[in-house]
Amino acid sequence: RKCVKILPSPSFLLHPTQTPPVGRRQSEHPTLLCVSDGSPMESPSDPLPSHRPPTNEFIASMLKRAREEGRVTYDSSKYDFEGHFERMFTPLEGPLSSIHARPVPATPAPISLALLHGFKVAGVKMPPAWNKVLRHKKDRLKKFLATKAYKDFKATFDTFVREEIAPLIGDPQGLVYQCPPTIRVQLPSKNPMGVPHKDADYERHVEEEVNIWVPVTDTFDTNTLFTESQPGKKDFHPLECKYGEAVRFWGNQCWHYTVPNQTDATRVSFDFRVIPMSLYDAGRFDGLIGDYPCAFTGPLSEPGGR
């Protein structure tokens, strides 16, 4: 994992209620912003945009909008996530939603750990070669991140965040975003994935985060994610989407969970967290989002987004 040095954010990028540590000069404490696959990235230490920084009133309004559950439609021919995942999930072939119905080849084992994990959670009996891979996760992940299939996906993902999600959030300074995203594969089974939670239950996750959930298959009934629309509202509902739709929600404070997938369709999705750059303090967040490496979109081309 390659890291690039960045300077802590200037004072106007701190949370409105946060003050710099007493007795420290911020420039004396550089931190690290990491890119998981070692590729070069634009760093927040690069010159900030020439337009004036957002006011606290603008930031508060922007964050309120960003925390509201919302849906975005994107061009799936431009962002061919389905094709990327089919290539990343070799040697299994065919439609992603029917992965569970195809014969499990003894060798080679899939290069994707997320795919292997999906089969394991579903209770599928896996060949010895597959189980061996799960005992060497770090090596497998390193190999996966080096594949052409993953690098092609990451290039599309970075463009998607920069051109679709950053304007959706609307911070003129841009976004810091989790990179790589988390891939989920939920096969039909009697087992849910994970446990009900909100991201704040886990260390290092902060309220400034907003979750972006992108299904790569149609989601419906029990093969999807369930969440409440606002913290504490308990109006739990399934996120039913068509391929080409994504959902924004405040997973840091809203409870969310899965139930056993009792449909006849596998759900494949990826998700990631973003923080508006105007609220991102590298020193406070240790150059990470939670425990995840992150990247920076650069400022929006038009202040205020769309």
State residue 53's pLDDT score: 63
Q: What is the pTM of this model?
A: 0.81
The CATH code of domain 2-79+148-296 reads: 2.60.120
Residue 174's pLDDT is what?
95
The angle that helices 113-121 and 137-145 make with each other, rounded to 10 degrees, is 130
Q: Which residues pair with 257 in a beta bridge?
A: 226
pLDDT band at 68 (very low <50, low <70, confident <90, very high): very high
Residue 39 has pLDDT above 70, yes or no: no
pLDDT at 302: 52
Residue among 217, 210, 228 nearest 277 (CA) = 210
CA distance linking residue 92 with residue 63, whole number of Å: 41
Q: How high does pLDDT run on average in the chain? A: 83
What pLDDT, on the 0 to 100 scale, is given for residue 72?
A: 94
pLDDT, residue 285, reads 74
Candidates 51, 43, 42; CA nearest to 12 is 51
Q: How many Cβ atoms from other residues are within 10 Å of residue 69's Cβ?
A: 16
Residue predicted with more confidence, 44 or 52: 52
Average of per-residue pLDDT across 41-54:
42
The model's confidence at residue 296, banded by pLDDT at 50, 70 and 90, is very high
CA 78 to chain centre: 19
| Helical axes 81-88 vs 148-160, angle rounded to 10° | 160
Instruction: Quote the percentage of the chain above a pLDDT of 90.
Output: 71
Q: How far apart are CA 165 and CA 234, in angstroms?
A: 26
What is the C-alpha separation between 86 and 265, in angstroms, rounded? 15
Per-residue pLDDT, 54: 75
Select the more confidently predicted residue: 33 or 299. Answer: 299
- Compute the residue count for the chain: 306
Position 150 confidence tier, pLDDT thresholds 50, 70, 90: very high
Residue with token string 């189980």: 131
To the nearest 10°, the Cα dihedral for 95, 99, 102, 105? 120
Confidence label for 84 from pLDDT (cuts 50, 70 and 90) = very high
Token output for 245? 């739709």
Query: In this predicted model, what pLDDT tens digit does every residue of 196-213 receive, in sequence order?
Result: 999 999 988 999 999 999
Q: Does residue 27 surpass a pLDDT of 60?
A: no
With H, G, I as helix, E, B as strand and everything else as coil, classify residue 142: helix
Give me the mean pLDDT over the 230-253 stretch.
Answer: 97
Give CA–CA dist 219/88, Å, rounded: 20
φ and ψ of 112, to 5 deg: -85, 120
Query: Is pLDDT at 133 greater than 80 in this prediction?
Result: yes
| Interatomic CA distance for residues 293 and 204, integer angstroms | 12
Residues 6+ apart with CB under 8 A from 190: 123, 260
Q: What is the DSSP string of 52-67?
A: PPPPHHHHHHHHHHHH
> Bigger pLDDT: 36 or 210?
210
